[in-house]
Each structure stands twice: as C-alpha cells, then as structure tokens.
C-alpha cells in the first residue's frame, strides 16, 4: 500500500497493489493529473491538485484505489 496526504485539501489516496491490475484508468481520467503510472502502478504526484471528485475510485474496476477525505 502506498499513501500520500495533503494537509490543505485533506485528501488521501490509497492504492491496493495486491488488487490493482495496472490498467491505468484511474491515472488517465483523473481530471487534475494527480496520478501517474509508475512501475505499473498508479502513484500520487500532485495530491495538492486533488479535488476529491472520486472519479479515479469510481472508475477503478478492481477496488484497488481509494480516496479518503481525512479529518484534520
């Protein structure tokens, strides 16, 4: 599991590598380019841009990416 947090927007994205099938849907269709594919897995590179829209999670076919809004 990889985790990244951004204080300001309080979003946290969790990738479950054991279920991820490396399709890149989450990365390609993130409206804010928050994610990139690295070594076959999505990696969070611009958490500060995340709007918590959930689209990456909604479109992941494998229950492998989760978007959390953290309490601060």
Partner 1 sequence: MFDYGAYLRKDKFPLIWCSGCGDGIALKAMLRAIDRIGLSKDEIVMVSGIGCSSRLPGYVDFNTLHTTHGRAIAFATGVKMAKPELTVIVVTGDGDATAIGGNHYIHAARRNIDLTVILFNNWIYGMTGGQVSPTTPFGKRASTAPYGSTENAFNISGLAEAAGASFVARETVFRPQVLDKFIEKAIRKKGFSVVEVFTPCPTTYGRRNKMRSVIEMMNWLKDHAVPKSRAEKMDPQELEEKIITGVLVDLDLPEYTEEYQKLIDRVKS
Partners of 12 in the β-ladder: 5, 68
Q: Give least dist CB 68 to ligand SF4, A.
A: 10
Rounded to the nearest whole angstrom, what is the least distance from the CB of residue 8 to partner 1 in the complex? 19
Residue 15 touches which of partner 1, ligand SF4, none (Cβ within 5-8 Å per kind): ligand SF4
Q: Per residue in 18-41, is it b (16+ CB within 10 Å) or e — as a string?
A: eebeeeebbbeebeeebbeeeeeb
Q: How far is CA 4 from CA 29, 30, 67, in A?
A: 19, 16, 10
Q: Judged by CB under 6 A, does residue 62 bind ligand SF4?
A: yes
**Shortest approach of ligand SF4 to residue 56 CB, angstroms?**
3
Q: Give the footprint of ligand SF4 on this chain (CB under 6 A).
A: 13, 15, 20-26, 30-32, 34-35, 42, 50-56, 60, 62, 64-65, 67
């Amino acid at each position: 599991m990889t985790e990244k947090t951004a204080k300001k927007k309080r979003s946290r994205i969790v990738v479950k590598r054991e279920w991820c099938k490396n399709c890149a849907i989450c990365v390609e269709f993130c409206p804010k380019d928050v994610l990139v594919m690295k070594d076959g897995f999505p990696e969070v590179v611009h958490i500060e841009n995340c709007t918590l829209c959930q689209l990456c999670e909604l479109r992941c076919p494998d229950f492998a990416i989760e978007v959390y809004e953290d309490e601060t």
